[in-house]
Amino acid sequence: MAAQAPTLQVPKDADLLQAQSDLWRHSLCYMTSTGLRCAIKLGIPTAIHHLGGVTSLPDLITALSIPPAKLPFLRRLMRMLVTTGVFAKADSGSEGTELFRLNALSSLLVDGVDADEHHCQTSFVLAATSSHYLEASLGLADWFKKDFGEGPPPSPFEEVHGAPLLDEKTASICPELDKLVIEGVEAHDNLGIGTIMRECHDLFKGLASLTDCCGGDGTTARAIIKAHPHLKCNVLDLPKVIEKAPAHDVINFVAGDMFHTIPPAQAVMLKLVLLHWDDEDCVKILAQCKKAIPSREEGGKIIIIEVLVNPSLGPIIYESQVLFDVVMMTVTKGGQRDENSWAEIFKKAGFSDYKIVKKLGARAVFEVYP
């Protein structure tokens, strides 16, 4: 005879109504992402910038070449994007006109601006809200139920699309997605390098040489050399990335694979690299890094810049960290980690000690010693 299910305690009155509102928010919050995507595809952040950073809806409609009949619908979209923090309301005009302005978030989505430390994040958003990412997410339940046998399973993205993300095979799924992901990762990873240089200036002090693993087009390396002109800098990345990197008098661009060999230097830097890999691969990468540097007594160290998951950062940053973690679980084999997880990885890779140099928002800067 089947066991009797326990009695369900139904929420009462105010709790019930609040629960329904929370359910709406969780069920419909995809509109935040798709609304953001819509704003980028329409060019709203760039249009507001060209209109002086503040605009009325009629002026925005004109600038975007949207039919005037769509104004009421655009107002509803903008209301949602203001509510979710993408844009901000400005003080009303002289005739009480409703005005919208850029804020810190939407300024990251302005295209075509050549300015120090501006790394437009539109490719990151368009990749993250693409149908390929969403299809992988929709396949999560099936992925959890499937027994893949021994060894690490493929990511849900690879299971759904037949090829991994950030791989030579990704272009076979969709060349446009592959381009967006590469551009998005570069822009995302370069964001905040100015802050790191200001807050952690001594991080590179006294170093004679540095290898930037997965350093892309050398944006980070150029920022470091500008602050520390004496530093000899290698940038290691895959051949398809290095062949597109702009030439530089000081930076030595090296085409290669960090799993096999890393150009020797006094320090090796991994900036938002390890989040793409599972623990076992992180240990392999760090073991190669350890081979490339001298002893701690000779100044050898690994500089790691990664997300450090910590609920004490507050609900907004912590929620973004755990959301990012599940995204990485879905589209790669990697994830975001707390300090205990990082410490375990460093130990398994053969390092003797580490310290957290600085916590910067959701990220932390580590020094790891051989």
Write out pLDDT tens, residues 213-245: 999 889 899 999 998 999 999 999 988 888 888
The answer on pLDDT for 41 being more than 70 is yes
pLDDT reported for residue 300: 95
The answer on pLDDT for 94 being more than 60 is yes
The arithmetic mean of pLDDT across residues 302-323, rounded, is: 95
Partners of 210 in the β-ladder: 233, 267
pLDDT reported for residue 151: 84
Residues in the chain: 370
313 contacts: CB under 8 Å, gap ≥ 6: 321, 361, 362
Rounded to whole angstroms, the Cα distance separating 189 from 21 reads 36
Q: What is the DSSP letter of 247?
A: P
Q: What is the DSSP letter of 151?
A: S
Confidence of residue 4 (pLDDT cuts 50, 70, 90): confident
Query: What's the whole-number average pLDDT of the chain?
Result: 93
The answer on pLDDT for 80 being more than 90 is yes
Taking the CA atoms of 342, 343, 347 and 348 in sequence, report the sign of the dihedral they define.
negative
* Tokens representing residue 88 in the block: 């901000």
pTM over 0.85: yes
pLDDT > 70 in the chain, percent = 99
